[in-house]
Amino acid sequence: NAGVTQTPKFRILKIGQSMTLQCTQDMNHNYMYWYRQDPGMGLKLIYYSVGAGITDKGEVPNGYNVSRSTTEDFPLRLELAAPSQTSVYFCASSLAERGETQYFGPGTRLLVL
């Protein structure tokens, strides 16, 4: 039982490049989330999903896209990287929407130059 895994651990992008951050969970959770964390700040929700085929925007969705074709996977796509997207990205999953633990992955550190 690996929990929530994320790849890559670290990536440097040039302005305008694209990339996909991968997130996989093996706990059969319906709810999955993407957060970003800027230095010294708390996490902010980018996108979330309540099940395969269903996604919705969080607090800071601009510049990102997501898809959820399976229960296990929830990739985050950056289409045109900008320096403002330099951050640490965390994926999480939970069994239910409220009153349940969110399990977080180890994070992806992204630097856009």
Partner 1 sequence: DAKTTQPPSMDCAEGRAANLPCNHSTISGNEYVYWYRQIHSQGPQYIIHGLKNNETNEMASLIITEDRKSSTLILPHATLRDTAVYYCIGEERYGSSNTGKLIFGQGTTLQVKP
Binding site for partner 1 (CB under 8 A): 4, 33, 35, 40-45, 48, 58, 88, 90, 92, 96-99, 101-107, 109
Neighbours of 10 (CB within 10 A): 10
Which of residues 79 and 97 has its CB atom nearest to partner 1 in the complex? 97
> CA-CA distance, 66 to 96, in Å (whole number)?
20
- Exposure b/e, 31-60, CB count within 10 A at least 16 = b: bbbbbbeeeeeebeebbbbeebeebeebeb
Which of residues 85 and 89 has its CB atom nearest to partner 1 in the complex? 89
Cβ at position 43, least distance to partner 1 in Å: 4
Cβ at position 30, least distance to partner 1 in Å: 12
33 sits in which H/E element: strand 31-37
Cβ at position 111, least distance to partner 1 in Å: 14
Which of residues 75 and 106 has its CB atom nearest to partner 1 in the complex? 106
